Amino acid sequence: MIVILKENPNPGQLQDLTAWLKSQGVEIHTSHGQRQMILGLVGDTSRLDMDLISALDIVDEVKRVQDPYKAANRKFHPEDTVVELANGVKIGGGHFALIAGPCSVESEEQICSVALAVKAAGANILRGGAFKPRTSPYSFQGMRERGIQLLLEAKRQSGLPVVTEIMDAAQLPLFEEVDIIQVGARNMQNFELLHALGHIRKPILLKRGLANTYQELLMSAEHIMSGGNSQVMLCERGIRTFETYTRNTLDLTAIPVLHKLSHLPVVIDPSHASGRSWLVPTMGISAAATGADGLIIEVHNDPEHAWCDGPQSITPAVFQEMVPRVHAVRQALELEKEEGRA
Amino acid sequence: MIVILKENPNPGQLQDLTAWLKSQGVEIHTSHGQRQMILGLVGDTSRLDMDLISALDIVDEVKRVQDPYKAANRKFHPEDTVVELANGVKIGGGHFALIAGPCSVESEEQICSVALAVKAAGANILRGGAFKPRTSPYSFQGMRERGIQLLLEAKRQSGLPVVTEIMDAAQLPLFEEVDIIQVGARNMQNFELLHALGHIRKPILLKRGLANTYQELLMSAEHIMSGGNSQVMLCERGIRTFETYTRNTLDLTAIPVLHKLSHLPVVIDPSHASGRSWLVPTMGISAAATGADGLIIEVHNDPEHAWCDGPQSITPAVFQEMVPRVHAVRQALELEKEEGRA
Amino acid sequence: MIVILKENPNPGQLQDLTAWLKSQGVEIHTSHGQRQMILGLVGDTSRLDMDLISALDIVDEVKRVQDPYKAANRKFHPEDTVVELANGVKIGGGHFALIAGPCSVESEEQICSVALAVKAAGANILRGGAFKPRTSPYSFQGMRERGIQLLLEAKRQSGLPVVTEIMDAAQLPLFEEVDIIQVGARNMQNFELLHALGHIRKPILLKRGLANTYQELLMSAEHIMSGGNSQVMLCERGIRTFETYTRNTLDLTAIPVLHKLSHLPVVIDPSHASGRSWLVPTMGISAAATGADGLIIEVHNDPEHAWCDGPQSITPAVFQEMVPRVHAVRQALELEKEEGRA
Amino acid sequence: MIVILKENPNPGQLQDLTAWLKSQGVEIHTSHGQRQMILGLVGDTSRLDMDLISALDIVDEVKRVQDPYKAANRKFHPEDTVVELANGVKIGGGHFALIAGPCSVESEEQICSVALAVKAAGANILRGGAFKPRTSPYSFQGMRERGIQLLLEAKRQSGLPVVTEIMDAAQLPLFEEVDIIQVGARNMQNFELLHALGHIRKPILLKRGLANTYQELLMSAEHIMSGGNSQVMLCERGIRTFETYTRNTLDLTAIPVLHKLSHLPVVIDPSHASGRSWLVPTMGISAAATGADGLIIEVHNDPEHAWCDGPQSITPAVFQEMVPRVHAVRQALELEKEEGRA
């Protein structure tokens, strides 16, 4: 940590600061600039409160040299995390997740038929929303408990593991048989929820907030991981920009950057990012070519009559055409792990 | 609602659409443009799902003419909402809230002494955080339950009503004696929490998310109000922009715009917006001059040793100098209600 | 064009408006909504000033149904524009541009050796800056006229066509032998410059501004094309977002969207977008997989001693490794045109 | 300047770096952190190229401690700059500019009648656009040379000094008798234009770009000032945010921050910021309460028939009601300089 002092600091306050820093077990290296003095702090600075030091009268600025995240940091965990589901499906470290299914669970017939269709096309995980965060209180809010039951029925019929979104820690008992719990973009900094998910032992798919940075996403993963749950997957689903043609702007640079900063798998959601079904295959293939560990795609057998997010859902037929192109770019770039994985 | 069709729509699909719209009780006015056909829908369109219609193959775009919020809408409720607290303090409709206190409750001595100091300086409501959303899991997360107890002790000693933040609906039982419940910016779209707050009868201070629009803020208010709780105050606390000198960018235009769109009171938080204590008085006065219904200001008796957010807290002495200037601009602009209010 | 009137419009003003619209040769279709009246305008509305109509007392909102760009619009020009350079190199319509070279021209030895190196690695166009827009007046501003001369010397030695940036119309005489003139992101809305470029007959590489939308980029292309110069290429080079890890955020969705809206070629600049050399190959390959018509890459033989933008330049050796991977994804996705093009 | 090295730097490269830095006349203070080594550079570091050092293999990050702007920096010029026009009008240091007039000059009758009206209402400077930057090439682009002539006629008739926008250095000869030259937001980083304006001796009103930071604005001022022209005024006119209700978002915090960082006057443009005439008086008053040195307001005698930007223009009558409220808040806050100024 580097502390840049204001010009001509009060000597008494400076002495107080250095004495206090030493009492915290930190060594101080002082540099005298032309106008400003700089303190280099050496030792375990993770417990020092940057804000507190910044607030001091004599301090101009405080800069951290080390990353504020530890459990999620590749520096301390060089190998890729591979998330492994009950039925053998793996994600990360060369294993690719092809997650597909409808925005919302609507009926047993709908979710089961989509499950079988996406499985036939090559998906290895089924998605389907039961609790739906909606901007308007007058929109469909999801089938909730009943939706989870129908999703689990589709899991039984198709054999696919399932992922679905949680909106409040109080809903956790309903997620017993769910394979991956999704945290939505709007809840990325719902810290009470993250803490609750840190105390279970189930994979979490953590979506990046619409206006959040890579570091904030990693800090939210850290909130989960600091509770002991290390099975976290990061999901980029589009960020808010000034562009209005698409719903959000997909940030594919997140893939190599998150892979460098962290060992956690990175999954891309081109459906929510673009909000337009015709863009989904192109951007899904693009994400695969950029090194994503998985895709999560909205597929609906009848997008024109979907209860929500219809405009961004593709049909099983379009999904089926997309899958071989995803594999083709992965093979062309030699991103494929040896054959034989679920 | 206006539905703009693609060029040369399939006649069968068009007939299906118009038949279905009529079955929903909506009247259709058709305009034939040079290249595109436009349907004007008349009647109660609030139940029509824009997304569903947008998804149709033959539809290019759907535009709503009416606002999607009702309970919060000034069109249907022309008079200002005046929030009235148990002890007679009013907010809105010319009544001004001067909310002050520390970022976090740290000890009985601290919260009580700040409470008395800000009351003496002219504050009529006390703030203090017990549950603290923090980006890092390694930072101080607030005194939680014990913090609420100390805040209520400060309420007893000072006579000031109190506002403090909730982070999860499960915490509600602790908020029985709290006068105003705050929803933080990161939870603005935590819809499960908003729904829970819609079912109680206590004023809510709803903070705008860092990258959310006025309409999204009003829709979140609508989530609360649709549950029956009409005592909602809107709070602008800075939005995320590309500027890094300040923590966030205070959007004061929110005041006249929210007042035009809605009847709810608008409170401004210049402390979180700027993140720098020296900016707080200037921007607080500016907010008052723009017609805010209240200010929420971080005041700490010892900002240099505050447990969090020290850099943006002002001392009671600075607060005391600021208050008369707030009233001076309100008087100069004749925003003051007649004397005699709490 | 659709004009949404305010509730209860003044009848006299309404009559004035409809009379005036008719005098402009526009037909009017009126729809009466529950609360608001809507006018659908049919005919050539391109000359109607939306702002003027919006300003009218009785008007609530005006919406354009048709795109405001014509020359750049794919609707009126369905085939891909193929830009063809003097020496036979083509860009667009399946022809791929691999543009490489240093940020700045620094010396004859430097630009010529880089030219030969990138040509050997597979580049078909050379880039090199002579006029450099720099945030600070104290930074190196480019070799200017002398830089252009050295770039042309490199063109002679390597046989590669060249692209370089113009900053003011007064510099045009120096660009006689330059093959493609680049307009930088900061000048995307320097309309006087765009108009001057509309009156020459030379290909233009128009970079998207840091906070501009697709439509604004197309409107700037329209400024050039309305002068008669139809050889415009669009270049996405990263947009400003809240992420600070990268210099900007590369928006690859721009590729399919601009291809849908326009017939102009789309070139991607992963160097400026990321600002970090290790990201350039990955994001360049990703852009190729997304369907870009070309890449513009900063390559420097000695990035550690480059006069500017060193951190984002790759070496010729890294470029050489990247090129076959670019072609591999294009082949895997069948984006390659038949062999035999320059 | 602080240079943070990567872990375990190559010793040979480190020796090269330190030798080179010493050869640049800079002293080096080394701190050894737990994982990383830090170099504190002391001396005149303004000539060191941060980018070049950042690019080195062994360097992790470079941070500047000192501001990159000098001429515009209050540290080196503690007194407020007061811009003084030929006819005695002053701006800055307590002197307030009330600039008003139409978006575009449309006719002699129009500009002269508005000039007399705004003068009568209390304006001390006249604005009026002759060269108009417009997103569309098909919109009205201003009366250009003829517009300047009519504006100067209005100057003669009213006695008010005038401000108008330049779009290209080649237009400078037309601006001989113009009192203040405006650089528009889209040209804030048109460095060739800024350099040309640095070589004349006439006050410049420099508008902040839509997505630019305070520091970038000050660096653009520095581009002008480094040429010798010290009469620069900074103008905040709204930044681009995700809010679409207003045209842009007015950032009033810019006023105290720019005043702290720089000695240059700060003028606020509430008309372009909001894009809605009903917001202009409120936000203009708010800007005055925040300490602005001036306002620039669009006033049109017939906003409904203005050739551009009608929706954001107010009438002379509304302007006349606004002016005393601007002075009232300035008096209430004791921002007014003693009487007697032009």
Average pLDDT over residues B45-58: 76
Distance from CA of A245 to the nearest CA of C (A): 8
Q: Is A36–D242 a contact, with Cβ atoms under 8 angstroms apart? A: no
Residue B319 has pLDDT above 80, yes or no: yes
* Dihedrals phi, psi of D63, to nearest 5 degrees: -125, 135
3-class SS letters over D183-220: ECHHHCCCHHHHHHHHCCCCCEEEECCCCCCHHHHHHH
Distance from CA of C289 to the nearest CA of A (A): 6
Residue D300 has pLDDT above 90, yes or no: yes
A201 touches chain D (CB under 8 A): no
Q: Is B31–C34 a contact, with Cβ atoms under 8 angstroms apart? A: no
Q: Is D243–B211 a contact, with Cβ atoms under 8 angstroms apart? A: no
Total CB pairs under 8 A between chain A and D = 53
Enumerate the H helices of chain A as residue ranges: 11-23, 50-54, 108-121, 145-158, 191-198, 214-225, 254-261, 270-274, 280-289, 316-332
Residue A291 has pLDDT above 50, yes or no: yes
Give the H or E element holding residue B44. Answer: none
**Which pLDDT belongs to residue D340?**
38
| Partner residue facing D51 (CB), from C46, C167, C311 | C311
Tokens standing for A290? 């950029």
A52 touches chain C (CB under 8 A): no
Please indicate whether residue A152 or residue D304 has the higher confidence score (pLDDT): A152
Which segment of C103-107, D60-64, D127-131 scores lowest on mean pLDDT?
D60-64
Residue A339 has pLDDT above 80, yes or no: no
Residue D233 has pLDDT above 90, yes or no: yes
Distance from CA of B18 to the nearest CA of D (A): 31
Judging contacts by C-beta atoms under 8 Å, the chain C residues touching residue D190 are: 167-168, 186-187, 190
Express each pLDDT in C154-181 by its tens digit. Answer: 999 999 999 999 999 999 999 999 999 9
Please indicate whether residue B15 or residue D232 has the higher confidence score (pLDDT): D232
DSSP letter for A239, please: B
**By percentage, how much of chain B surpasses pLDDT 70?**
95
**By percentage, how much of chain A surpasses pLDDT 90?**
71
| Partner residue facing A138 (CB), from B46, B210, B310 | B46
Which residues, other chains included, contact B56 with Cβ-Cβ below 8 Å and sequence gap of 6+? A304, B13, B17
Residue B223 has pLDDT above 50, yes or no: yes
Q: How confident is the model at residue B274 (pLDDT cuts 50, 70, 90)?
A: very high
**Which pLDDT belongs to residue C308?**
65
Average pLDDT over residues A71-93: 94
Distance from CA of D199 to the nearest CA of C (A): 14
Q: Give SS3 for B232.
A: strand
Please indicate whether residue A207 or residue A49 has the higher confidence score (pLDDT): A207
B192 touches chain A (CB under 8 A): yes
Average pLDDT over residues B20-25: 82
CA distances from A77 to A72, A81, A263 (A): 8, 9, 7
| Partner residue facing A4 (CB), from D34, D65, D240 | D65
Q: Which chains have 3+ CB pairs within 8 A of D?
A: A, B, C
| Partner residue facing B55 (CB), from A57, A68, A304 | A304
Residue B289 has pLDDT above 90, yes or no: yes
Average pLDDT over residues B271-277: 93
Residue B339 has pLDDT above 60, yes or no: no
Express each pLDDT in C232-243 by its tens digit. Answer: 999 999 999 999
Q: How confident is the model at residue D307 (pLDDT cuts 50, 70, 90)?
A: low
Average pLDDT over residues C324-338: 89
Residue C230 has pLDDT above 50, yes or no: yes
Average pLDDT over residues C97-118: 97
**Which pLDDT belongs to residue A65?**
73
A121 touches chain C (CB under 8 A): no
Evaluate whether C273 touches C237 at the Cβ level (below 8 Å).
yes
**Which pLDDT belongs to residue A342?**
34
Which residues, other chains included, contact D229 with Cβ-Cβ below 8 Å and sequence gap of 6+? D197, D198, D199, D200, D201, D202, D204
Q: Is D241–B241 a contact, with Cβ atoms under 8 angstroms apart? A: yes
Average pLDDT over residues B61-65: 79
Average pLDDT over residues D228-254: 97
**Which pLDDT belongs to residue A340?**
38
Average pLDDT over all residues of chain D: 91
**Which pLDDT belongs to residue D306?**
66
Residue B304 has pLDDT above 80, yes or no: no
Evaluate whether C133 touches D189 at the Cβ level (below 8 Å).
yes
- In total, chain B counts a number of residues equal to 342
The ipTM estimated for the assembled molecules is: 0.91
Judging contacts by C-beta atoms under 8 Å, the chain D residues touching residue A243 are: none
| Partner residue facing C242 (CB), from A213, A260, A328 | A213
Helices A280-289 and C280-289 cross at an angle (nearest 10°) of 150
Residue C341 has pLDDT above 60, yes or no: no
**Which pLDDT belongs to residue C340?**
38
Q: What is the chain C residue with the closest CA to A275?
A: C253
Average pLDDT over residues A27-38: 77
**Which pLDDT belongs to residue D342?**
33
C66 touches chain B (CB under 8 A): yes
Average pLDDT over residues B3-11: 85
D223 touches chain C (CB under 8 A): yes
Residue C339 has pLDDT above 90, yes or no: no
| Partner residue facing A291 (CB), from C252, C282, C328 | C282
Q: Is D31–A36 a contact, with Cβ atoms under 8 angstroms apart? A: no
Q: Is A38–D65 a contact, with Cβ atoms under 8 angstroms apart? A: yes
A25 touches chain D (CB under 8 A): no
Residue A189 has pLDDT above 60, yes or no: yes
Distance from CA of D6 to the nearest CA of A (A): 10
| Partner residue facing C40 (CB), from B31, B44, B242 | B31
Express each pLDDT in A76-85 by its tens digit. Answer: 999 999 999 9
3-class SS letters over C111-169: HHHHHHHHHHHCCCEEECECCCCCCCCCCCCCCCHHHHHHHHHHHHHHCCCEEEEECCH
Distance from CA of A333 to the nearest CA of C (A): 7
Judging contacts by C-beta atoms under 8 Å, the chain B residues touching residue D286 are: 252, 286, 289-290
Judging contacts by C-beta atoms under 8 Å, the chain B residues touching residue D325 are: 333
| Partner residue facing A32 (CB), from D35, D42, D240 | D42
**Which pLDDT belongs to residue C25?**
81
A148 touches chain B (CB under 8 A): no
| Partner residue facing C240 (CB), from D169, D211, D313 | D211
**Which pLDDT belongs to residue D139?**
83
Average pLDDT over all residues of chain C: 91
**Which pLDDT belongs to residue A56?**
79
Q: How confident is the model at residue C93 (pLDDT cuts 50, 70, 90)?
A: very high
B54 touches chain D (CB under 8 A): no
Give the H or E element holding residue A58. Answer: none
Average pLDDT over residues C286-306: 91
Evaluate whether D185 touches D209 at the Cβ level (below 8 Å).
yes
Mutation target to probe the B interface, by most B beta carbons within 10 A, among A3, A20, A24, A49 is A49
Q: How confident is the model at residue A6 (pLDDT cuts 50, 70, 90)?
A: confident
Q: Give SS3 for C202.
A: coil
pTM, rounded to two decimals: 0.93
Residue B85 has pLDDT above 60, yes or no: yes
Please indicate whether residue D311 or residue A277 has the higher confidence score (pLDDT): A277
Total CB pairs under 8 A between chain A and C = 115
Residue B342 has pLDDT above 50, yes or no: no
Q: How confident is the model at residue B20 (pLDDT cuts 50, 70, 90)?
A: confident
Angle at C275 (CA atoms; ends C267, A220), nearest 5 degrees: 110
A66 touches chain D (CB under 8 A): yes
Which segment of A204-208, B44-48, C335-339 scores lowest on mean pLDDT?
C335-339
Average pLDDT over residues D265-290: 96
Q: How confident is the model at residue B309 (pLDDT cuts 50, 70, 90)?
A: low
Residue D207 has pLDDT above 60, yes or no: yes
3-class SS letters over chain D: CEEEECCCCCHHHHHHHHHHHHHCCCEEEEEECCCCEEEEEECCCCCCCHHHHHCCCCEEEEECCCCCCCCCEHHHCCCCCCEECCCCCEEECCECEEEEECCECCCHHHHHHHHHHHHHHCCCEEECECCCCCCCCCCCCCCCHHHHHHHHHHHHHHCCCEEEEECCHHHHHHHCCCCEEEECHHHCCCHHHHHHHHCCCCCEEEECCCCCCHHHHHHHHHHHHCCCCCCEEEEECCECCCCCCCCCECCCCHHHHHHHHECCCEEECHHHHHCCHHHHHHHHHHHHHCCCCEEEEEECCCHHHCCCCHHHCECHHHHHHHHHHHHHHHHHCCCCCCCCCC
**Which pLDDT belongs to residue B128?**
97
